[in-house]
Structure 1
Amino acid sequence: MGSLLSATQRADLYDAENRWAADDDFFLTFVNERPASRVLDLGCGTGRLTLALAGAGHEVTGIDPHPGSLAAARAKPGADAVTWVEGTSTALGPDAAFDTVLMTAHVAQAIIDEDQWRRTLADIRRVLVPGGRLVFDSRDPRAKAWERWTPACTRNQFTLPDGTRLHLWLDSAPHEAGLVKITEHRLFADGSRELEDAVLAFRSEWRLRGDLLAAGLHVDAVLGGWSGEPVGRGAAELIVLAHR
C-alpha cells in the first residue's frame, strides 16, 4: 500500500517534527566563523538550516536525494538564494569547491551502506578546498538512544497546514551489527494507519575517526553536546569537526 501522505504532506510533517533547535544554532555559529563561505549542506532536507545559512550571507548549495523535500525547500522564502541539487554526494560535479561541508540532523546515520559511506567521505574530501572544514553529527551508540524510541516515550500529535490530523509514535529494534530499525506509526483522524520504516547506522567515535582518517580528512575534535561538552556528556552526540 502506498503512503497515505502526499509528498507535500510528508514535508510538512517533517517540518512539524523538526523545529529549529540547539543543533541548528551550533551549525550556524560554526559556519559563521568564516563569513561569506561557500557551503554545502549535504542532506539538506526541507532547507531549514540551508536557508538560514544563505540568509547569513553564505553561498549555499543544498543537496538531497528526496524530490519532495527539495520541492518544499524551493517553495520557502529566500530559496532563490540557494543552489538546490537533487541527489547524493555523487551528483557533485568535478569543479565543485566548498569552504565548509555540513551533514546535520544525523544524516550521516542514514547512510547505512558502507561502500556509500566511504564514497560520501571521499566526495566530501574532493570538494573541500585545502583547509576546508567538515562538521556533522551522529548519535553516540553508547547512549543507546533506540531504547527510548518506544510508543510510551515518543507519542505525539500534529495538525498539518492542510488540516490533516494524526497521532505518531515510534518503536525500534536492533537490526544487525551497528544498525537499528525504526518504525514510525501514523494514526489518522479517520482511523486509517500507515507505517514508515528506516534503518540507522550507529558508529562509535573511534570508528568515525578511523573512517575520516582513511578518507584523508583530519579530525580536529569530537564533541558530546551542543555547548561543547566532551563525549559522554551533553546531548549524547558525536559532533565531528574535521578539515581537509
Structure 2
Amino acid sequence: MVDEYGARSVLDVGCGTGTFACLLARRGIGVVGVDPALASLDVAQRKLGADRVTWIHGDAAALPADLRVDLAVMTGNVAQVFLTDQAWADTLRHVRAAVRSGGRLVFETRDPARRAWEDWTPEHSRVTTDVEGVGRVESWIDLLAVDPPYVSFRGSVRFESDGALLTSDSTLRFRTQDEIERSLAAAGFDVEEVRDAPDRPGREWVYVARARGAARIGA
C-alpha cells in the first residue's frame, strides 16, 4: 500500500521492534517510528536500516509539531490497544496533524463478530520456535476475560534452556465499524475504503482513511 499510494514518507504508529519501519527505510522511504515501549525501541535500533529511521519514544502526542507525512500506519492491531474513547480520539487527532492534507492513515482492526478471542487458548495458540543464540522458546495465550467491547488475555513465553517463564497481560477493545468511522470523521479523516486483510481473510477490517482540510490539535 506504500507503493500503491506512492508514499515517500511514512509514520509508523506503535512501531514495536521496528521490523516494518526498517524494511521501508531500506527501500529509501523516509520513516518515523513512535512507540511507548522503550525496550521495543532498543531492539528496533539494532536492526538493519535502523539508522535511517527517526525513532521517537512515546505516544502520538510526542510527535514533532512540524511533522508531515504521506502515509501513517498502525500495524499489528495497534488500533485496539486504545481502550477509552478519549485515548483513541487523541491518538487520531495527533496522527491527523502529522499527515499532510490528502495523505492517508491505514490500519487494521479485528471484526468483533468473528470472536477472535475464542482461539486465544493454549490449545489453539501454542507455538515452539528455535531462536538463534537462545534455544527453543515456547509461547501461548490464555484468555482472561471477555467483557465486550473489552477482551483481556495473558501472553506467556517459556525458555527451554533454563525454564524461565515471562508473562504479559493485555486488554484490547473491539470497536464496531460505526464507532470507527465516526471517530475518524471527528479527527478529520474521510474513510476512503475498507478492505479485507489478505493474510486473515474475513477476520479483520483494513481501513484506508484520507486526511481532509487543515489539521488542528484540540485542547
Q: Work out whether the TM-score is over 0.5.
A: yes
8 Å CA contact 2:148–2:174 kept in 1: the answer is no
Alpha-carbon contact 1:222-1:240 (below 8 Å) kept = yes
- Provide, for residues 193-227 of structure 1, a one-character-per-residue CA deviation record: whole Å limited to 9, x for no partner: 34211111111122111110121210011122228
User: Offset at 1:179?
Assistant: 0.7
CA deviations on 1:173-196 (whole Å, 9 max, x unpaired) are 444331100111333334443421
Aligned twin of 1:239: 206
- Correspondence for 2:8 among 20, 23, 37: 37
Change (3 A) 1:138 1:36: closer
Residue 134 of structure 1: aligned partner: 105
Q: Distance in 2 between matches of 1:52 and 1:168?
A: 25
- Contact 2:153/2:170 (<8 A) preserved: yes
Aligned positions, number = 210
Unaligned runs of 5+ in 1: 1-29, 228-232
The 3-state SS of whatever aligns with 2:137 is strand
Q: CA deviation at 1:125?
A: 1.2
Could you list the per-position Cα deviations for residues 41-62 of structure 1 after superposition, in whole angstroms to 9, with x for gaps in the alignment? 1111111111111122211111
Structure 1 position 151, deviation (Å) = 1.1
Of residues 199, 207, 219, the one that matches 2:171 is: 199
What is the CA deviation profile of residues 101-153 of structure 1, one whole-angstrom value per residue up to 9, with x for unaligned ones? 00001111112232111100111111111101000011111100000111111
Identity %: 37
Q: Structure 2: how far apart are the matches of 1:188 and 1:218?
A: 46
Give the direction of change, closer, same or farther, for the CA distance of 1:36–1:133 in structure 2 (3 Å limit). Answer: closer
SS at match of 2:179: helix
Aligned-partner Cα distance in 2 for 1:89–1:98: 14
| TM-score where L is the length of structure 2 | 0.89
State yes or no: 1:81 paired with 2:52: yes
- The alignment status of 1:226 with 2:198, answered yes or no, reads yes
Give the Cα separation in 2 of the matches to 1:94 and 1:78.
25
Q: Is the 8 A contact 2:7 2:71 kept in 1?
A: no
SS of residue matched to 2:93 = helix
Query: Which residue pairs with 1:217 in the alignment?
Result: 189
1:208 aligns with 2:175: no
Q: TM-score, normalised by structure 1?
A: 0.80
Matches within 5 A, 1:169-208: 169-189=140-160, 190-208=162-180
Matched residues in 2 for 1:58 and 1:165: separation? 35
8 A Cα contact 1:47 1:62, kept in partner: yes
Distance 1:179 1:145 in 2: 12
Alignment deviations for residues 17-52 of structure 1 (CA, whole Å, 9 cap, x no partner): xxxxxxxxxxxxx11124461210111111111111
Aligned match of 2:217: none
- Asked whether 1:66 is paired with 2:37, we answer yes
Query: Contact conserved, 2:7 with 2:70, CA < 8 A, in 1?
Result: no
Higher helix share: 1
Measured in 2, the distance between the counterparts of 1:75 and 1:93 equals 23
